[in-house]
Amino acid sequence: MTAPATPSAPASPQGPLGRARSRYGERTVQVVLVAAALVSVATTVGIVVSLVPPTVEFFASVSFAEFFTTTQWAPLFEPPAYGVLPLVTATLLITVIAVVVAIPLGLGAALYLSEYAHPRTRMTFKPILEVLAGVPTVVYGFFALRFVTPTLQGWLPAGMSPDVFNALSAGLVMGIMIVPTVASLSEDAMSAVPRGLRDGAYALGSSTRLVAVRVVVPAALSGIVASFVLAISRAIGETMIVAIASGNKPELSFNPLDAMQTMTGFIAQAGSGDLPTASLDYKTIFAVGALLFLITFVMNLISARLVRRFREVYE
């Protein structure tokens, strides 16, 4: 069969079953494929290249000490102040609220779908969770600002009424937004737990709850933790919800009823205008972006490591 397929090959000098020369084109195809795979590497390089030089220039004008230790953030005012802490604490506060909402809900939903639900129930609810994951974040932001905040203002007692822009409703809605992330990744980890472990526990007389809590969750723990880490990383990087619902006031506060600005919120606000490339304002965006990138990068590495660990156990 090889002879007619490779007309360009010389009449087989090395014997009847010699290795046919690969068709011309095979090589080209491979080069194209490698090039496509390298686009992803180029993306990472591009991100680093776009972040590093402006960040370095930024730190030539603003000292590390001022950036990381002072508590005033007002880069677009006169005189400017470059203490990034208010943005960081706002990011952390909103992330904590989101995670407190998302982890129990996501884990509960995953446990229910993986251990209790009838297959038909699972077939119904998994697509619903996918729709929840597919709703654009700008829609969540709108809902947080126009529905959740007024509802909270109506429910909470007068002294605790939140501002129009507040961290609480942004965090709550963001928590619901990342429920599907937690639920689907944890459920994957739980379905990877071999049936035999469950059957063994059932044979010893365990109830479904004991099997779920004492067998499945511990066995899937690294996958579950990886889903938490990824969820935290998504919450830190989420932009539109906070840009819409938590306000643009960078202030060092730990009161979730106050308006505050996160790192992503600042980048969105400052980046929406048309800043001259050489200005320090422009570089500030990249400095905050570099910090954001660094934080999420570390979280992603932790998550990837955890996922690899849980894969190793049962395959």
Partner 1 sequence: MSAPAMTKTRTLVLARRGIPWGDIVFKWLLRVCLAIAVAFLVTLLVYVVYKGWSRLDPRLWENFPSIRRPERAGAKSALFGTLWVISLTAVFCLPVGILGAIYLEEYADPDRWYNRMIELNIANLAAIPSIVYGILGLGVIARGFGFGTTILTASITLSLLVLPIVIIASREAIRAVPSSIRQASYGLGATKWQTISRQVLPAAVPGMATGSILALSRAAGEAAPLLLLGGLTYVAYVPDGVLSGYTVLPIQIYGWISQSREAFHDLSSAAIVLLLIVIIAMNSIAIFVRNRAQKRW
Is 266 in contact with 250 (CB distance < 8 Å)?
yes
Residue pair 280/79 in contact (Cβ under 8 Å)? The answer is no
Return the residues of window 83-102 that contact partner 1 according to CB under 8 A: none
Q: Which is nearer to partner 1, 5 or 204 (CB)?
A: 5
Determine the interface stretch with partner 1 among 92-100, 129-137, 153-161, 184-192 (rule: CB under 8 A): 129-137
List 18, 104, 200, 218, residue binding partner 1 (CB under 8 A): 104
Q: Is 60 one of the binding residues for partner 1 (CB under 8 A)?
A: no
Tell me: does residue 170 bind partner 1 (CB under 8 A). no
Instruction: Give the binding range for partner 1 (CB under 8 A) out of 7-15, 68-76, 184-192, 295-303.
Output: 295-303
Distance CA 229, CA 179 (A): 13
The rounded distance, in Å, linking the Cα atoms of 279 and 77 is 13
Distances (CA, A) of 44 to 48, 51, 195, 268, 307: 6, 11, 40, 21, 21
Segment interacting with partner 1 (CB under 8 A) among 9-17, 71-79, 153-161, 286-294: 286-294
Q: Which is nearer to partner 1, 61 or 69 (CB)?
A: 61
Q: Find how far residue 98's CA is from the centre of its chain.
A: 12
Q: Give the contact letters, 217-246, x = binds to partner 1 (CB under 8 A), - = no.
A: -------------x--xx-xxxxx--xx--
Residue 263 to residues 85, 89, 288, Cα–Cα distance (Å) = 10, 9, 6
Q: Closest Cα partner for 226 from 198, 194, 188, 195?
A: 188
Question: What length is written for the chain?
Answer: 315
Strand partners, 82: 73
3-state secondary structure of 145: helix
| Residue 46 within binding range of partner 1, rule CB under 8 A | yes
Q: Binders of partner 1 among 186-205, rule CB under 8 A?
A: none
278 near partner 1, judged by CB under 8 A: no
Decide if 98 contacts 175 (C-beta within 8 A): yes
Q: Does 65 bind partner 1 (CB under 8 A)?
A: no
Using the minimum distance from each CB to partner 1, give the nearer residue, 255 or 302.
302
- Does residue 34 bind partner 1 (CB under 8 A)? yes
Contact region for partner 1 (CB under 8 A) — 8-16, 21-29, 191-199, 249-257?
Answer: 21-29
Positions 131 through 160 that interact with partner 1 (CB under 8 A): 131-132, 134-143, 145-147
